[in-house]
Amino acid sequence: MAHLLSGPVESVNPGTIVLEKGTRPDCVYLVLSGTMECIKSELNIKFHMSTGSFIGDLPCLDNSESAATYRSVSHVQMLRLSDELYRSFLESNDLLDQVVSIQNNIELLRRTWLFGEELSYVVQNKIAQSMQSMEVEEDEELSIEGKSGLFLIDDGELNVKNSQGEIVEVLNFGDFFGEQSLLSEESFRGTIQASFPTKLFFIDADVLAGIPIVHLKLTEVWATRRSH
């Protein structure tokens, strides 16, 4: 660990592009102070990254190009980590698959309205570590009875039907449901059915406790859904 963290500390001025989309990074940066901005213009996504955030870690691990541009918002100090040492450290401690999985989950969270811009890297990382993967087949009904937490769609499509069997909402990537279990004692009345094979994640209510912005957004969505 000491060898891994012995890299140089680099300082950058505001407005500096540290990693550009489409390039292959040759190192991993750990933000020590200041604020960075992650920009994915094609998805209209922009969010800030603060102390403790990694830049370039996923592309280095899977030998891919960066999917985003990273630019400093303020004066930033970063620890430069060798990509080879970073990978070697994870492999020698049997952490590579786990870290890649968590970083992929973080990327998913960052692309959503609910968990994107307003959440810090530390909070996103906590949520990402707890995410439980689920899959439902075409026409399969998903039972959420007794589940206290949130379901987040990664890929596919789900139809939400009321007690009369009418479709009241169609959910796709980044959409979620189950918020009533976090906000009240009301149970979900209706069914949720997959239009085609769908991948989603379950996030336990305890993990989301104490994140005000998430609860504020959930309350907003729940109020809208109850009015329909």
The 10s digit of each residue's pLDDT in 117-174 is 778 888 999 999 999 999 999 999 988 877 889 999 999 999 998 888 889 999 999 9
**Sorting pLDDT into bands at 50, 70 and 90, what band is 204?**
very high
Average pLDDT, whole number, for the chain?
89
Phi and psi dihedrals of 57, rounded to 5? -70, -45
Residue 228, pLDDT above cutoff 70 = no
Top-confidence residue, 10 or 226 = 10
- Mean pLDDT, residues 28-57 taken together: 87
What per-residue confidence (pLDDT) applies to 127? Answer: 96
Residue-wise burial string across 82-119, b where 16 or more C-beta atoms lie within 10 A, e elsewhere? bbebbbebbeeeeebeebeebbebbbbbbbbebbbebb
- Mean pLDDT, residues 55-83 taken together: 92
What's the CA dihedral at 59, 39, 116, 134 to 10 degrees? -40
What per-residue confidence (pLDDT) applies to 1? Answer: 62
- Mean pLDDT, residues 197-211 taken together: 94
22-41 pLDDT, tens digit per residue, is 999 989 999 999 999 998 87
What per-residue confidence (pLDDT) applies to 4? Answer: 63
Are 4-93 and 131-227 the same fold in CATH? yes
What per-residue confidence (pLDDT) applies to 187? Answer: 72
Question: In which residue are the tokens 């996504």 written?
Answer: 45
Phi and psi dihedrals of 33, rounded to 5? -160, 160
Top-confidence residue, 225 or 31 = 31
- Mean pLDDT, residues 76-86 taken together: 92
Residue 188, pLDDT above cutoff 80 = no
Indicate the domain borders of the chain: 4-93, 131-227
pTM, rounded to two decimals: 0.83
At the second CATH level, the architecture of 131-227 is Sandwich (2.60)
Yes or no: say if 145 and 188 are a contact pair by the CB < 8 Å rule.
yes
The CATH superfamily label for domain 4-93 reads: Jelly Rolls (2.60.120.10)
